[in-house]
Structure 1
Amino acid sequence: MAGFQGTTTYKPGGTSDSAAKNYGFALTALTSLFFMWGFITCLNDILIPHLKSVFDLNYTQAMLIQFCFFGAYFAVSLPAGALVKRIGYRNGIVTGLLVASVGCLMFYPAAGTVSYPLFLGALFVLASGITVLQVSANPYVTALGDSATASSRLNLTQAFNSLGTTVAPFFGAMLILSSATIGMETMADAQSEADAVKLPYLLLASMLAVLAIVFSQLKLPQIDSHAPIRRDVASSTSAWSYPHLVLGALGIFLYVGAEVSIGSFLVNFLGQENIAGIEEAEAAHYIAYYWGGAMVGRFIGAALMRHIHPGLLLACNSVGSVVLISIAILGSGSLAMWAILLVGLCNSIMFPTIFSLALNRLGEHTSQGSGILCLAIVGGALIPLLQGMLADNIGIQLSFVLPVVCYIYICYYGIKGTEVRAD
């Protein structure tokens, strides 16, 4: 792995006092990144209704926002993995922050010209930067310490990602939706509405640029290699040779798809007369319980994984999700409402746990493996569309059978799919 200038060298298997001291500092610095990309990702939930109103879009056109955002993971993840392998994790983080900052800046001309294609282009660039961050930061966290506690560390940092997703809608509603105009009739109204995104995204661009400068100057532990590869798998020439990585990539695809899909349908689900029958504005407040549950669960999961095998905990949470969604499908009223909201608590540990288990013992192939896993995040663009097709044909409530199938597979992965071997 390419070295970092001015960094403390760390080789897995040995922990010096100076390196150990740097772990806490490095993890603290990385936590800010997890918060930022969670915050930015969740702002899409505000952009969708806002831009739908500005450009008078139908739901299919509005969902292009998610397609462009999650499509960037599909397009950029593998090149990002190769880039990070060449320039190193810290430089990869700086690059990702700068690209994301440029994406945020692109919202200014997009709003100025009231151009939906430019908004979509800005989202793609922004998500490309976040993809590079994901490819760099996730494996870096798993490498900063004992591999046996990698899932615990990643869950702890991902908890702050969930904090970002929990608070972002409140800020987005205040800065973007607070000036919404009902029933726009003129181009001037559309321009005013489009301009509402300028300030928040300029602020985000500035914060990301500052973080890039800070990380370029930080003295972080250098990761020369990851945990030693077992002798029986050391001859593998590609990360694709590891079944536990490939199965984990499918797990990431299904998990992200299920999580995003549930979140996308929550407001409509809660609006059903046999569930809660509440208006959209009121239903939106309950989404905080969904994302907040994921945040709380990650703090709990980080502690539990010190004593419980990550794969077993992953399987248990998957079973919990299946049970809760089944209650939501078959039940009604407040029982069904709270059952679907509590799925967020079960979701909590899934992404970081699958991610860390899939990267286990990949050695020199870790950055490539990280790119493959981030590639699989494209499930967030495809699974919601499939559930949308089901909802159109069999109803919203029954359409949640699709996430059930996703969680059943994740349960299998936690129990059987994490064994490290090479084909």
Structure 2
Amino acid sequence: MSQTNKNQKNLVAIITMFFIFAMISFVTNMAAPFGNIWGMSYNWAGMAGNLMNFTAYLIMGIPAGNMLIKYGYKKTALIALIIGAIGLGVQLLSGVVNNIFVYLLGALICGFCVCMLNTVVNPMLNLLGGGGNTGNQLVQAGGTLNSLSATATPILTGFLVGTLTKDSFPDVAPLIITGIVVFLAAFFVISAIQINEPQGDLKNVTYEKSPLAFRHCLLGIIAIFFYVGIEIATPGMMNQWISREGGFEGAAAVAGSLAGIYWFLMLCGRLISTVISGKVSTRAQMITVSTVGIALIVAAIFTGDVTTTLNIDLNIIKIENATVPLSCVFIFLCGLCTSVMWGGIFNLSTEGLGKYTAKASGLFMVMVFGGGMMPFFQDLVLVQQLGISYLNSYWLIVAMLAYILYYAIWGCKNVNKDIKVD
């Protein structure tokens, strides 16, 4: 194959993976606003959709990695897209039959979808970029589209809902239907595209060790558990806090916009990282953002009851004369920090794994369960059961950020270079 043809096929594969990255955040970010609607009837339900969505990773992570080996990247992605359309359909049905358990089933099915898609997109982009800083650069570029989709989802939901009530499901039905149509369209588009599998045939590869034999991979898997908890809980708890306790008309819309700003800043951070990753090491970026993230969340906690009036116009996000806690500003600014963590942790953790990368990707997907477990723990245990304020519950996020800082400084070093990886 000529170098030109190879580059063209790589470009098609990269664009396809970017598109899949956007679909992942669309499905994932539907859980929080729908959970807020169910939370009006069941006080434990605010983060229950997230819990089910991410519980799917616990169940599906390793099987998804095995599917990658058995069927390849393209077939695994196609299966995932069909499952995603079914999951959104079940969530739509839950609003029709007014049954929260049908909604939770739909969230679980959608979780299977995004787990499989994540298993495909991250190692493929890292490998297409040749690993190292360039591999991280591609993951961050794909993450930019992921953030764009993530920004739009809570804003659209908040706009459609306006003022949150237990009967708000019909208002957001068009968004679910749009998601189903997009999934089906993506299925046909990807079916027609030829994707060059970057790792070749994995079915006949012999694995002498487990990816867990690599210390930096093991510690990175733990870091992913905490990171996804941080990414989801940081805007999700703020969204729930302002939606429930904002005390003004249209609080749900403002809360959705505040969460949208967080995701928009994640987009900005990933754009910046895409530009600088060829020159600034992944490790240096991770140390910086985890340190700043800790400082921002601590500032949010100590700001307390201080309020500020926000007037923000970012075209896609508008907030007019809304009086909200100043803490919200520090919280959504944290999006700049969390923006690079997923790609950074994945890049550092899989560096030097070679043939073990696909299996490691499956293990990573298992630990994405942290995105359901940690926010649910923060909401149900800390806030609902122990009566800790929403703001003070953010100490949990500070602790998780501290672990990521430890990983970036010390834990990411590969001390197992004696293991054969080719």
TM-score where L is the length of structure 1: 0.84
- Separation in 2, partners of 1:394, 1:222: 49
SS in 1 for 2:280: coil
Task: Indicate if the aligned counterparts of 2:140 and 2:271 stay in contact, CA closer than 8 A.
Answer: yes
Unaligned runs of 5+ residues in structure 1 are 1-7, 9-14, 185-189, 227-233
Task: Indicate if the aligned counterparts of 1:225 and 1:363 stay in contact, CA closer than 8 A.
Answer: no
- Separation in 1, partners of 2:240, 2:33: 15
Q: Give 1:7-406 correspondences, 5 Å limit.
A: 16-53=3-40, 56-58=41-43, 60-148=44-132, 149-175=134-160, 177=161, 194-224=169-199, 236-267=208-239, 280-281=251-252, 282-332=254-304, 333=306, 334=308, 336-388=327-379, 389-391=381-383, 392-406=386-400
- Separation in 2, partners of 1:219, 1:267: 41
Task: Indicate if the aligned counterparts of 2:283 and 2:409 stay in contact, CA closer than 8 A.
Answer: yes
Q: Which residue of 2 aligns with 1:4?
A: none
Cα offset, 1:204, TM superposition: 1.6
Q: Which residue of 2 aligns with 1:230?
A: none
Cα offset, 1:174, TM superposition: 4.4
- Separation in 1, partners of 2:127, 2:371: 27
SS in 2 for 1:352: helix
AA paired with 1:200?
A: L
- Separation in 1, partners of 2:297, 2:169: 37
Percentage identity across aligned positions? 23
Task: Indicate if the aligned counterparts of 2:157 and 2:256 stay in contact, CA closer than 8 A.
Answer: no
SS in 2 for 1:106: helix
CA gap 1:400/1:113 in 2 versus in 1, 3 angstroms: closer
AA paired with 2:22?
A: F
Higher deviation after alignment, 160-169 or 357-366:
357-366
Cα offset, 1:147, TM superposition: 1.4
Task: Indicate if the aligned counterparts of 1:225 and 1:364 stay in contact, CA closer than 8 A.
Answer: no
Task: Indicate if the aligned counterparts of 2:296 and 2:333 stay in contact, CA closer than 8 A.
Answer: yes
- Separation in 1, partners of 2:303, 2:378: 19
User: What is the root-mean-square deviation of aligned Cα atoms in Å?
Assistant: 2.7
- Separation in 2, partners of 1:272, 1:57: 13
Cα offset, 1:401, TM superposition: 1.6
Report the count of equivalent residues: 388
Cα offset, 1:76, TM superposition: 0.7
Q: Which residue of 2 aligns with 1:420?
A: 414
Q: Which residue of 1 aligns with 2:323?
A: none
CA gap 1:404/1:221 in 2 versus in 1, 3 angstroms: same
Unaligned runs of 5+ residues in structure 2 are 309-325
CA gap 1:272/1:112 in 2 versus in 1, 3 angstroms: closer
CA gap 1:62/1:284 in 2 versus in 1, 3 angstroms: closer
